[in-house]
Amino acid sequence: MKLDFSSPFTERTPRVVNAAKLHRAKERKKAGRILVEGFNSVDAAISTGAATDLFVTQSAAERYADVVTAAGYLDVYVHAIDDKAAASLSETVTTPGIFAVCRPVLWTVGKALGRKPQLVTVPVETSEPGNAGTLMRVSDSMGADAVIFAGNTVDPQSNKAARASAGSLFHIPVAREPNIKQVLGQLRSAGLQILATAADGDVTLDQVDLAKPTAWLLGNEAHGLDDDLLNEADIRVSIPIRGRAESLNLATAAAICLYQSAQAQEAEE
Amino acid sequence: MKLDFSSPFTERTPRVVNAAKLHRAKERKKAGRILVEGFNSVDAAISTGAATDLFVTQSAAERYADVVTAAGYLDVYVHAIDDKAAASLSETVTTPGIFAVCRPVLWTVGKALGRKPQLVTVPVETSEPGNAGTLMRVSDSMGADAVIFAGNTVDPQSNKAARASAGSLFHIPVAREPNIKQVLGQLRSAGLQILATAADGDVTLDQVDLAKPTAWLLGNEAHGLDDDLLNEADIRVSIPIRGRAESLNLATAAAICLYQSAQAQEAEE
């Protein structure tokens, strides 16, 4: 497909203006659309059918010609934009110049868990979009069934979270539920053991039966999981810290727990 | 120790002006000093003897009274600063109001490796300070002996890298060497097997003998390790990707590799 760049959309074109508004959570909710940026996110949004509109600069259209072609085949509206329009749509310092407006992709908790989940990531009160994205990416990489953001969390569908997920927002079922108790009930009903990461756990990671269907509760970046929630978990698990560091950060702790779970479950199969 | 806040240093006080200059790598080199911010970094800098000067706002002095007291005992100059001075020293949006000027803490590669290293992290051409810091933190947590930043990397002593390291910059030997071939030679001389993370590895992580003394080469965030370097490694290792994600990010991949190595080495002891 050949795009016509003789009169591209500018930052004043209504479609661009409306898309740029989607940086704000309130506007995403109102419009029932989300905005993502960059090759990985846009490619995943198009290939999974979530994208409705693609916006590309001339240089991005050349660089990502395959994505533009795929969008054409998949009935995604493709719009040529100029650099100023790209800047208005972007949240990055040097924008890749490729954007997609998409239908929301969040699932309900029940749907995300499906019928027999084996491995589920449950970030609690995640406050940093980059971390939310990294958690989706590592969960997807480790073959988890779903990511359930519980409590008062950042929006996993924000551009920044989507970008950090490198496309995984579109690949793995993701849900968001403010009511943590309700989430815990649903995890239990789904037959999952609930493990919580804790600085002072009952046991260390190598002492848990990780072959069982498992939901991992992961605390907030700054203050971890609160005591109430730790008490609700079946087992409080510590990752052994060997050096002089006090703890791991959220994403690295999640990576280690999920990798160990995935390995144990695979060995069991 | 009671600090006098009746006439705190302002953003115009020469000591504050000079400390604020340390945000720039060139000034750090010229002054032979680095600047760190936040409780974890400052606490580690003071307790390890790296700090020469502590700067605190009134509210930070109350909140971190123990750190201020420790600084007094350890002959660190303690300076009361006002909020504008804190803003000029800070690189964060909401500054914690506590800063330390420190002697540089980088080691030579030889010294960092020591006599019989067991586990060494070797980030290659790391371009993001937050990643550099996270790699120091996870390496420290996993009991690694050293972190060697090889090639053209960000400065691991920048405020942002120090902050992401949560104090580990001061806890674990860290070196920086632009000449990658030289680093490889030193790793080999130290008796380390050289493992490289690769999307298409010779083997997967669970197939390697991780009990051996190991150096992990970790590629750049955007383009991984280049072919030359992959060929220099003893083994190219893939982390099994189970879902639809294409890869893990740098920090989560490092966390998994180092955790597995630390576990295998501990089991061997």
pLDDT digits (tens, 9 = 90+) for A131-167: 999 999 999 999 999 999 999 999 999 999 999 999 9
Is A168's Cβ below 8 Å from some Cβ in B? Answer: yes
Residue to substitute from A127, A246, A260, interface B, most B β-carbons within 10 A: A246
Contact assessment for residue A119 and residue A142, using Cβ atoms and an 8 Å cutoff: yes
SS3 B36: strand
- Is A71 in the B-facing interface, judged by CB distances under 8 Å? no
Q: What is the pLDDT of residue A243?
A: 87
Q: What span, in angstroms and rounded, lies between the C-alpha atoms of A33 and A105?
A: 9
Per-residue pLDDT band at B103 (split at 50, 70, 90): very high
Identify how many contiguous H helices and E strands chain A contains and give both numbers. 13, 12
Band (pLDDT 50/70/90 cuts) for residue A222 is confident
Mutate to test the interface with A, among B170, B246, B261 (most CBs of A within 10 A): B246
pLDDT greater than 80 at residue A2: no
The average confidence (pLDDT) of chain A is: 95
pLDDT for A176 beyond 80: yes
What tokens were used for B131? 């990643």
A224 in helix, strand or coil? strand
B254 CB within 8 Å of a chain A CB: yes
The CATH architecture to which B14-102 belongs is: 2-Layer Sandwich (3.30)
**Chain A hits for B134, Cβ within 8 Å:** 249, 251-252
Binary contact (A252, B249; C-beta < 8 A): no
Inter-chain contact A142–B262, Cβ cutoff 8 Å? no
Domain segments of chain B as ranges: 14-102, 109-268
Contact between residue B155 and residue B161 where contact means Cβ atoms under 8 Å apart: yes
Q: Which chain A positions have a beta carbon within 8 Å of B146's beta carbon? A: none
Tokens of B146: 């050293």
Are B246 and A143 an interchain contact pair (Cβ–Cβ within 8 Å)?
no
What is the reported pLDDT for A221? 85
| Dihedral of alpha carbons A233, A234, A236, A239, sign | negative
Over residues A50-80, the pLDDT tens digits come to 999 999 999 999 999 999 999 989 989 999 9
Q: Which of A127, A252, A260 to mutate to test the interface with B (most CBs of B within 10 A)?
A: A252
Partners of B242 on chain A (C-beta within 8 Å) are 141-143, 262, 266
- Residue A111 CA to residue A108 CA, distance in Å, equals 5
Residues sharing a CB contact under 8 Å with residue B120, sequence separation 6 or more, in sequence order: B113, B144, B145, B146, B147, B148, B187, B190, B192, B214, B215, B216
- Within an 8 Å CB–CB cutoff, is residue B17 touching chain A? no
Of A245, A252, A260, the CB nearest to B171: A245
Predicted pLDDT of residue A269: 73
Please state the CATH superfamily assignment of the domain spanning residues A106-268 in this structure.
SPOUT methyltransferase, trefoil knot domain (3.40.1280.10)
What topology does CATH give the domain B109-268?
Answer: Alpha/beta knot (3.40.1280)
Query: Does the beta carbon of B166 lie under 8 angstroms from any beta carbon of chain A?
Result: yes
Whole-angstrom Cα distance, residue B27 to residue A122?
44
Rounded CA-CA distance B189/B111 in Å is: 13
Q: Does A121 touch chain B (CB under 8 A)?
A: no
- Cα-based torsion angle of the residue sequence B19, B132, A242, A129 in order, rounded to the nearest 10 degrees: 100
Determine contact, residues B186/B224, Cβ cutoff 8 Å.
no
DSSP A240: P
Contact (CB<8Å) B241/A167: no
In this predicted structure, what is the pLDDT of residue A215?
98
A141 and B241 in contact by Cβ < 8 A?
yes
Give the phi and the psi of residue B76 in degrees, each rounded to 5: -90, 130
The backbone torsions φ and ψ at residue B155, rounded to the nearest 5 degrees and listed phi first, read -80, 115
Residues A175, A148 contacting (CB under 8 angstroms) = yes
Is B87 in contact with B79 (CB distance < 8 Å)? no
Q: Does any CB of chain A come closer than 8 Å to the CB of residue B249? A: yes
pLDDT surpasses 70 at B215: yes
The CA distance from A159 to A178, in Å, is: 20
The tokens 């789904």 sit on which residue? Answer: A190
- Chain A CB within 8 Å of residue B183 CB: no
Chain B partners within 8 Å of A141 (Cβ): 239, 241-243, 245, 247-248, 252
pLDDT in tens, B138-197: 999 999 999 999 999 999 999 999 999 999 999 999 999 999 999 999 999 999 999 999
ipTM for the assembly: 0.90
What is d(CA B16, CA B80) in angstroms, rounded to the nearest whole number?
10
Residue B1: predicted pLDDT: 56
Q: Place A223 in a pLDDT band, splitting at 50, 70 and 90.
A: confident
The per-residue pLDDT for range B17-74, each reduced to its tens digit, is 999 999 999 999 999 999 999 999 999 999 999 999 999 999 999 999 999 999 989 9
Question: Measured between CB atoms, which of A141, A240, A262 is closest to B248?
Answer: A141
DSSP A211-242: TS-EEEEE-BTTTBS-HHHHHHSSEEEEPPP-
pLDDT number for residue A125:
96
pLDDT of residue B221: 85
- List, in sequence order, every residue forming a beta bridge with B79; answer none if it has no partner: B55
The phi and psi torsions of A121 (rounded to 5 degrees) equal -100, 130
User: Nearest residue of B to residue A163 by CA position?
Assistant: B249
Strand partners, A231: none
Residue with token string 């999307």: B199
- Is A167's Cβ below 8 Å from some Cβ in B? yes
| Confidence at residue A137, expressed as pLDDT on a 0 to 100 scale | 97
Distance, in Å, from the CA atom of A199 to the CA atom of A230, rounded to the nearest integer, reads: 11
Q: What is the pLDDT of residues B104-117, one digit of tens each?
A: 999 999 999 998 99
The amino acid present at A60, given as its one-letter code, is A
Which residue is closest to B166 within chain A, CA to CA? A245
* CA A90 remoteness from chain centre: 18
Nearest CA in chain B to A142: B242
B54 strand-pairing partners: B78, B100
Spatial separation of the C-alpha atoms in residues B16 and B11, rounded to whole Å: 6
Counting Cα atoms < 13 Å in the Cβ hemisphere of A113 gives 23
Query: What's the pLDDT score for residue B251?
Result: 95
What is the Cα–Cα distance from B141 to A239, expressed in whole angstroms?
9
Q: Which of A110, A180, A122 is nearest to A148 (CA)?
A: A122
The one-letter code for the residue type at A262 is: A
pLDDT confidence of B76, banded at 50, 70, 90? very high
A208 has a chain B CB within 8 A of its CB: no
Residue A269 near chain B (CB below 8 Å): no
Question: Is there a contact between A244 and B140 if contact means CB atoms under 8 Å apart?
Answer: yes
Partner residue facing A140 (CB), from B172, B244, B254: B244
Contact B242 A142 (CB under 8 A): yes
Chain B residues whose beta carbon lies within 8 Å of the beta carbon of residue A261: none
pLDDT number for residue B243 = 87
Taking the C-alpha atoms of A113, A114, A119 and A120 in order, what is their torsion angle to the nearest 10 degrees? -10
Q: Does B204 touch chain A (CB under 8 A)?
A: no
Do B100 and B51 meet the contact criterion of CB atoms below 8 Å apart?
A: yes
pLDDT at A172 over 60: yes
How confident is the model over A37-53, as pLDDT tens digits?
999 999 999 999 999 99
